[in-house]
Amino acid sequence: AALTSFTNTINTSLDGAFLFSGINADVKPLTDYNATPTAANKQAVADAFLAAFGTTPDDPANVNISDVDMQAFLDGPFSDLFEDPAWTTNWSAASDQNVKSRISTSELVETSTNSNDIGVRKLAKAYAMIADLGLENLNENAYKAVVDNATRVAGEAVQNVANEQARLGIAQERVKNANDRMSIQIDIMTNHISLLEGVDPYEASTRVSALMTQVETAYAMTARIQNLSLLKYLPL
């Protein structure tokens, strides 16, 4: 159930874009482990188990698997399933490259993550370990080896996911600060535009008319001054 919930979470989409696919936003990032027909990641786990022990995970004969052999399997063939190229072949279709957003003329910020992150791989590894290695058929020592490994890997995954959350939190804060700066700039420009455009047209018309009257008066006075001549007042 946890593995299914984890897969659904990683495959979350918003407005048609998958959030954990990096720049491959149109591709579902994580293969559904419990899909029908059998998914590639589930088949890879079964094949690795068969190659290591000669049995399938649901075989009662697995009671004979020792804790040493189980530990060797977990550290070797099983772990390899969550490393490249097996991970990107069987588990994840996401891009390693995250979405970058320009938040100012000089700043580019990674504003997404992807399912190839180490934390996601480790969570998938821990869930698959518990869900599909046939724990009910193992002896006590082998069972303990699996559970101890799953617990350790899950703990590491939580720390890795927390680190990724912190990185995204920093990116979110930078975006918020950039938005705040742009809001201030927009307010300043809006105020200036309002000062330039927010003139009462009737007042402007009245002021222009008054200026025109003053100009016409000045022209008339100039014409009269030009007509003034002492010759008109001197006796001939």
User: How much of the chain, in percent, has pLDDT values that exceed 70?
Assistant: 92
pTM above 0.85, yes or no: no
Q: pLDDT category, 213, cuts 50, 70, 90?
A: confident
Q: Is the pLDDT of residue 230 over 70?
A: no
Q: pLDDT category, 13, cuts 50, 70, 90?
A: very high
Give pLDDT, residue 234: 57
Q: Which residues pair with 110 in a beta bridge?
A: 100
Mean pLDDT, residues 22-40: 95
Mean pLDDT, residues 213-235: 67
